[in-house]
Amino acid sequence: MSADVFSAAVSRQIWDERYRWRDDGVPREAAMADTWLRVARAAAACERDQPLWAARFYSLLADFGLLPGGRILAGAGTGRSVTLANCFVMGSIDDSTDGIFDALRESALTLQRGGGIGCDFSTLRPAGTMAAASGSSAAGPVAFMGLWDSLCATMGANGNRRGAMMACLRCDHPDIEAFIEAKADPGKLRHFNLSVLVSDALMTAAQRDAEWPLVFPACRTGGTAGDGAMVTRAWPGFAAPVRCEVLRVVRARELWQRLMRAAYDFAEPGVLFIDRINGDNPLAYAEQIFATNPCGEAPLPPHGACTLGSLNLTRFVRNPFDDHGRASTDHSALAAAAAMAVRFLDDIVDVSAYPLPAQRRQARSTRRIGLGITGLADALCMLGLDYGSAAGRSEAAGMLRTICHAAYRSSAALALEKGAFPACDPRRHAEAAFVRALPDAIVARIRSAGLRNSHLLAIAPAGTISLLANNVSSGIEPVFGLSARRRIRHGSARYASWELDDYAWARWRDAHPGAAAPAYFRTARDIPPADHLAMQAVLQPFVDQAIAKTINVARNYPFDAFQTLYREAHRLGLKGCTAYRPNPVTGAILSSPARPRCGGPREGVC
């Protein structure tokens, strides 16, 4: 490994500003290798043989083989009072003044310690309904979201890092139309990503152009706000399905069209297929999910937390750009790295601080981790494969299969060594659909002794850490531009513009000066949106949580084709969909040739 691991000046600056350990402004680390060593030692602190595991973790981190989440890189081993988990979902918001401000306080504490948060606002009464006890009129979820937005704008999250939040609302909440339109004004709710929790029932009703009831628990409205019609729903904040009053009825297709038009016109809300999220959750026997982290890759229960790390796939390509067909993926090395990464992230669960006691309890009860990938598009280029081709998708699926199976084997082995996660029911966990699809030998081990971690895999946007690793392509996104100009924030409010070369393109160009780019160096704008979606679809079967992916479409992309992407995402069994079209409200993410910020419009904490 070269003494200077940075081939891009921007990568060195990002390390220096965001991840280099300083005490009172004085650097404690001279090189990136010192950061890797600090992080490796911190993770190994809970191991019995700390020097052995610190050395092994260092080897995993070195030369950007594993890119831990930014909170781990910035905070592990520094002694600072920060969390090492990137992803949180807050507790259920009680529909009362005290409950709302308690939830706001918990959100402030989590943001202050460096976490990105998701909040489900479905528990709040619709605007205009009267409280049965006090007779006061409710402001509604969208109005209270403004409190969270102002909080985030005022306090930030942690030093150079902006806060990030996800707001979710059920598709049958009476304020769903106001939620859908909430970001039409470019000056409002700019610190939130928004996602609608779309049920299978809505998709079916929209297809049939059926009526769609908008409802709320009758015990919260006093049963007097509607016409007396009642339905039973599983509702956040309630341990069992509850009787809900039908407050209004709309046409399902009109509601769906309204959602699609908002996404087309101003890039939000995104869509979370909540029934798929809960149906495919291996821990569905012990929890129900109503929200995700800000970028959508970690669906979490109330007070849930997840630690993230991304394997850099460019480090597992042998004989890159070989003209004689000898380029290949080293699956043996990839499996070994995935197994080690599981142990590393599992240790992070123990050494991390948590902003709230409830988050600590939830994290250590389930021991959720989110191992993902980055550099996929660059790795495919190094293999001579087109991202949008069937061969490219097949190779990508093979990589994820290797990681998935190695991760589950590792977690099963850790369960024998250190014990299964406390909430584990081995028999019921082995019956989960995702687990049943694993090799029989792994399933048998899970049925016998359980797993160390309830969830193991999540693919984050990995925006900043990919830039740190000399600008490898982000997450599973295609290469957005071989060369691009990107605005990057430095300090609390200062931006600088950088000319960036894609990692794989820079390597190929240096080896072939003056030559034209091979055909497989297609960028995002050259890849049909359906092929973006197809890539996400072939990877989802190997990811037990979710995948952060933004499908970038041209400004002149037809609306009917745009909404077809979302219907196809549902048909393919995906857990969510976000398509981004440049528009007058949000503009383009970057000037051409563009590159999305941390997964497109969902700029986040990755």
Please indicate, yes or no, if residue 295 is contained in any of the structural domains: no
Q: Look up residue 298 and give its two tokens.
A: 């970690």
Cα dihedral 402, 61, 391, 383 sign: negative
* Predicted pLDDT at 224: 62
The pLDDT, as a whole number, for residue 225 is 62
Tell me the CATH number at 153: 3.20.70.20
Which domain, by its residues, includes 95? Answer: 87-279
H/E element holding 371?
strand 369-374
CA–CA dist 172, 249 (Å, integer): 10
* Catalytic residue, candidates 293, 453, 470, 552: 293
The number of distinct structural domains making up the chain is 1
Is 293 marked active-site? Answer: yes
Whether the Cβ atoms of residue 327 and residue 384 lie closer than 8 Å to each other: yes
DSSP letter, residue 539: H
Residue 545 lies in a domain: no
Specify the pTM.
Answer: 0.94
Residue pair 219/103 in contact (Cβ under 8 Å)? The answer is no
Clarify whether 477 is annotated catalytic.
no
**Which amino acid type is present at position 190?**
R
Rounded CA gap, 66 and 76, in Å?
Answer: 15
**Is residue 339 assigned to a domain?**
no
CA distances, 422 to each of 204, 408, 419, 511 (Å)? 38, 17, 8, 52
On whether residue 486 sits in a domain, the answer given is no
Residue 506 CB neighbour total at 10 angstroms: 18
pLDDT averaged over consecutive 10-residue blocks of the chain (606 residues)? 80 95 93 98 98 98 97 95 92 95 96 92 94 76 96 67 87 98 91 96 98 94 74 93 95 98 95 98 97 97 97 98 93 98 98 96 98 98 97 98 98 98 98 98 98 98 95 96 83 76 96 92 93 97 97 94 97 96 72 36 37
65 domain residue, yes or no: no
Give residue 220's pLDDT: 86
Could you tell me if 456 and 408 are in contact, meaning their C-beta atoms sit under 8 angstroms apart? yes
Query: Does 173 map to a domain?
Result: yes
Catalytic option among 119, 152, 295, 598: 295
What is the reported pLDDT for 491? 64
On whether residue 254 sits in a domain, the answer given is yes
> Shortest CA distance to 34 belongs to which of 69, 76, 82, 65?
76
* 145 inside domain: yes
- Whole-number pLDDT of residue 17: 92
For 239-277, letters b (16+ CB in 10 Å) and e give eeebebbbbeebebbebbebbbebbbbbbbbbbbbbbbb
